Structure 1
Amino acid sequence: MKTEKFTFPGHDGADLAARLDLPDGPHLATALFAHCFTCGKDILAARRIAARLTAAGIAVLRFDFTGLGHSGGEFENTSFTSNVTDLTRAALALTARGMKPSLLIGHSLGGAAVLKAAPEIGVEAVVTIGAPAAPDHVAHNFGEKVEEIAREGVAEVNLGGRPLRIGKGFLDDIAEASLQPAIRGLGAALLVLHAPRDAIVGIENAQEIFVTAKHPKSFVTLDDADHLLSRGEDAEYAADVIAAWAQRYMTLTPPAPPIGAPEGVVRVVEADPDGFLQDVTSGPSHHALADEPLAYGGTNKGMSPYGFLASGLGACTSMTIRMYARRKGWPLEGVRVDVTHDKVHAQDAGNGTSAKIDTFRREIHLEGPLDAEQRAKLLEIADKCPVHKTLEASSRIETTLA
C-alpha cells in the first residue's frame, strides 16, 4: 500500500499527525481508524487492518489523538469529548480532500469514540474492537491515582510503561459521557469484535453494545486474543473479518475493468515484509492469502503460488465438466477434482532432455448414475478446460478417472 503523511487541526487547533494509507489500485471508499487509549496510529492492529482494507480498495486514515505520538497539543488537557471532536475533525479533513469516510473503526476507547462520533459524521458502517460500553471504564487503569487526580486536579499515571498526566477534567468527562443514545441512533451497520478473555475490557461490554444497537449488527469473537491484538495472527484475523464484513455494508463501485481484461486485475500485495505472506485480491469482492509452507520460510497462512495454480486447474476442470453434463442433461450429481503438482525430468515425458518440467496429476471423481460411455466422454471433456489448454503449452497434465 502507498502511505502519505497527513495532518489536520484537532479539537484545540493543534496539528494532529496521521497516515493516509492508499490502495495501490482504484480507490473505492475510505475508512477512519481510532486507536486505543494512549496507544498510537502505528500499533500492529492498526497497521494490519489498514493493509488489508487498502488491498480491498479502501483507503484508511489513522492518526494520533491530541498529545499522543507525533500529534501536537497537551494530553493532560484532553478528554473523551475532545477525542470525539478529533475524530470529527479528521472526517472533515478527509471530506475536504474528496474522501468522506464511510467506515469508522475504533479500538478500545477509540471504539467508544467512533460510536459517539458516527451519528454526527454519517457513515455506512462502524466497527468496534474491544470497546467499553461506557467511557468511564478506562478509569480503572488509574488505580489509586484517581483520588490524587480528584484532590490535586492532575496526577502522573503510568500507562503501558510510560508516564502520562491525567487531569480531573478527563475523569469528569468520562463520568458524564453516555454512549447509549449514540448506539441506538447509530444509523449504520455495526460489527462488534471482542475477545472473551480480554482482561482489560470485559466481554460484558461487547454484550451491552450489541444489545443496545439496532440491526444490522454482527458480533465476532476474537477467541483467546489479548486486548491489544498483539499477536500477528489475531491482528490478521480481525483484519480479514473487518474487510469481508465491511464490503457487505459499504457502497463500493469498482471502475470498469481494463480493456482486454474482462475479469479485472488480480492484485498481489506484500502483507509481511519479513516473510512471504501476500494479500491477493480480484476486484473488491474476492480475497485470499498466499504464503509459503513453514519448511520454506513462510508462515503457512495461505496457499502457495503452486497451490493457486493447481486450484485454478481443478476449478476450471470441474466447471467444464459440469457445463457439458448440464448441456447434455446427464445425471451428474457431483464433481471432485484432486490435483497434485510435481517437477519431473523432461525425459520422463519422452523428449530426451534432462531438464525438469512441471507435472500436474489430476484425479476426477464423478458422482451419479452415469454409464461407462458418459463417464469416458466427461473424462475427455476435462482436457477441454481452458486452464488446461493454457498450462499444457509448457506443462504436462496427467488425468485419471477415479
Structure 2
Amino acid sequence: MSLPEQNPSTHQKKVVVANKHGEKLMGILHESGTTDIVILCHGFRSSKETEAIANLAAALENAGISSFRFDFAGNGESEGSFQYGNYWGEVEDLHAVAQHFCGEKRAVKAIVGHSKGGGVVLLYASRYRDIKTVVNLSGRYDLKTGVEERLGKDFMERVKKDGFIDVHKSGSFLFRVTEQSLMDRLNTNMHEACLQIDKGCRVLTVHGSADDIVGVESAHEFAKIIPNHKLHIIEGADHPFTQHQDELASVVVNFIKESFDQDKAPTST
C-alpha cells in the first residue's frame, strides 16, 4: 500500500496533553497550517502508530488538513496504567485533548476512532456537543459481545471468584481485567448513548464486510439509530482494513472535507 505523497508544507511535532488525572497523553500533531484540526483515536491495546491511524493522518496531510493522533492513558507512550473497559475514561482523555486545542485557538472539526476508538468518539458525541463531525471505524455496537472470545466462557465466575482475570497469549502475560473494569465495559450502553447524539452531528460509520473481530452487523445497528448517519461498507475488508487502506483513507477524507464545506457554506435567512 502506497502512502499519500507528503505535502512539503506540512510538518509533524510531538505534543503532550495532560488529562484530568494529570497523566501525560503523548501525541503527534500533523501541522498543515490550518486552524481546523481532526483528532484521531486508536483502538484496544493499540496506539497512535497503528497503520490505519497513521495512514489517515498522512492522507489528511495530503488534503491540507491538520490532525492530531495520540495515545490514550495506559497505552503507547502515554502515562497511566492500562485498563480494560474504561470507555468513558477514554472519552474524558479525548475531551482533554479537544480542550487543549481549543485553548490553542484551534477548531476541532472532526473526531475519528478505530475499533474501541470508534465507540469512544460516538460516546463523546453523546456527552459533548462541541464537535459536529464523527467518524466511527469498525466500532462495536453491543459491548457485551466479544468478551467471551477474549476471556473465555466462564469469565464472570472467574472474575467474581478472584477479582480479576489475567489474559495470556502463547504463554506471555498480556493484560489484567479487573472485576470493576469488566463491569465498566458490560455496563456501557452504546445504544442508549447513540440516541443522545445531536441531529446536527454528522456521523460516518465505515466497516469491513470481512471483519471477524467486530461483525459488520454492528455498523448496520449504528445506521438504524443515529439520526444524521452515513454508512460505508468496504467489501472484503478485515477489522484493521489491512488490504484496503487507500479506500478507507479516501472515504474518510472525503467525508471530512464535505463536512468542512458544509460548515463554511452560508446559511439562508
- TM-score, structure 2 as length reference: 0.85
Match of 2:4 in 1: none
- Equivalent residue for 1:46, pick from 36, 47, 53: 53
- Equivalent residue for 2:174, pick from 163, 178, 196: 163
Shift in Å, 1:70 = 0.6
Is residue 80–residue 135 contact of structure 1 (8 Å, CA) maintained in 2? no
**Inter-CA distance 225–158: structure 2 relative to 1 (3 Å threshold):** farther
CA distance in 1, matches of 2:142, 2:85: 17
Is residue 209–residue 238 contact of structure 2 (8 Å, CA) maintained in 1? no
CA distance in 2, matches of 1:94, 1:241: 25
SS of the equivalent of 1:67 reads: coil
Q: Which has the higher contact order (CA 8 A, sep 6+)?
A: 2
- Equivalent residue for 2:184, pick from 173, 178, 181: 173
CA distance in 2, matches of 1:54, 1:20: 10
Tell me which structure has the larger Cα radius of gyration. 1
CA distance in 2, matches of 1:15, 1:239: 29
Is residue 125–residue 246 contact of structure 1 (8 Å, CA) maintained in 2? yes
SS of the equivalent of 1:83 reads: helix
Match of 1:198 in 2: 211
- Equivalent residue for 1:225, pick from 231, 237, 240: 237
- Equivalent residue for 1:123, pick from 115, 131, 139: 131
CA distance in 1, matches of 2:16, 2:192: 31
Match of 2:116 in 1: 109
Ranges of 4+ aligned residues in structure 1 off by more than 4 Å = 159-162
CA distance in 2, matches of 1:7, 1:146: 37
**Inter-CA distance 146–12: structure 2 relative to 1 (3 Å threshold):** farther
Identity between Structure 1 and Structure 2 (%): 23
CA distance in 1, matches of 2:123, 2:17: 20
Shift in Å, 1:77 = 7.5
SS of the equivalent of 2:145 reads: helix
SS of the equivalent of 2:252 reads: helix
CA distance in 2, matches of 1:6, 1:159: 33
- Equivalent residue for 1:21, pick from 17, 30, 38: 30
Shift in Å, 1:245 = 1.4
**What is the CA deviation profile of residues 332-365 of structure 1, one whole-angstrom value per residue up to 9, with x for unaligned ones?**
xxxxxxxxxxxxxxxxxxxxxxxxxxxxxxxxxx
CA distance in 1, matches of 2:247, 2:31: 21
Number of matched pairs: 248
Instruction: Answer yes or no: is 1:93 the counterpart of 2:104.
Output: no
Shift in Å, 1:141 = 4.5
Shift in Å, 1:28 = 5.3
CA distance in 1, matches of 2:185, 2:135: 21
CA distance in 2, matches of 1:77, 1:205: 20
- Which piece of structure 1 moves more, 41-50 or 68-77? 68-77
SS of the equivalent of 1:75 reads: coil
AA of the residue aligned to 2:211: D
SS of the equivalent of 1:164 reads: strand
**Inter-CA distance 158–226: structure 2 relative to 1 (3 Å threshold):** farther
**Inter-CA distance 159–190: structure 2 relative to 1 (3 Å threshold):** farther
Shift in Å, 1:15 = 0.7
Shift in Å, 1:48 = 0.8
CA distance in 1, matches of 2:132, 2:169: 34
- Equivalent residue for 1:211, pick from 224, 238, 254: 224
Is residue 135–residue 203 contact of structure 2 (8 Å, CA) maintained in 1? yes
SS of the equivalent of 2:59 reads: helix
CA distance in 2, matches of 1:135, 1:142: 12
Is residue 92–residue 100 contact of structure 1 (8 Å, CA) maintained in 2? no
SS of the equivalent of 1:101 reads: strand
Is residue 124–residue 250 contact of structure 1 (8 Å, CA) maintained in 2? no
- Equivalent residue for 1:150, pick from 157, 160, 172: 160
Shift in Å, 1:5 = 0.6
Match of 1:80 in 2: 87
- Which piece of structure 1 moves more, 60-69 or 173-182? 173-182
SS of the equivalent of 1:250 reads: helix
Shift in Å, 1:96 = 1.2
Residues 354-365 of structure 1 mapped to structure 2, 5 A cutoff: none
AA of the residue aligned to 1:186: I
Match of 1:272 in 2: none
**Inter-CA distance 146–73: structure 2 relative to 1 (3 Å threshold):** same
Is residue 136–residue 171 contact of structure 1 (8 Å, CA) maintained in 2? no
Shift in Å, 1:81 = 1.7
**What is the CA deviation profile of residues 93-138 of structure 1, one whole-angstrom value per residue up to 9, with x for unaligned ones?**
1211122311011111110110000241521211111111133334
**Inter-CA distance 141–99: structure 2 relative to 1 (3 Å threshold):** farther
CA distance in 2, matches of 1:18, 1:136: 30
SS of the equivalent of 1:157 reads: strand
Match of 1:10 in 2: 19
Shift in Å, 1:47 = 0.8
Task: Let me know the Cα RMSD of the aligned residues.
Answer: 2.2
AA of the residue aligned to 2:114: H
CA distance in 2, matches of 1:10, 1:179: 23
Match of 1:243 in 2: 253
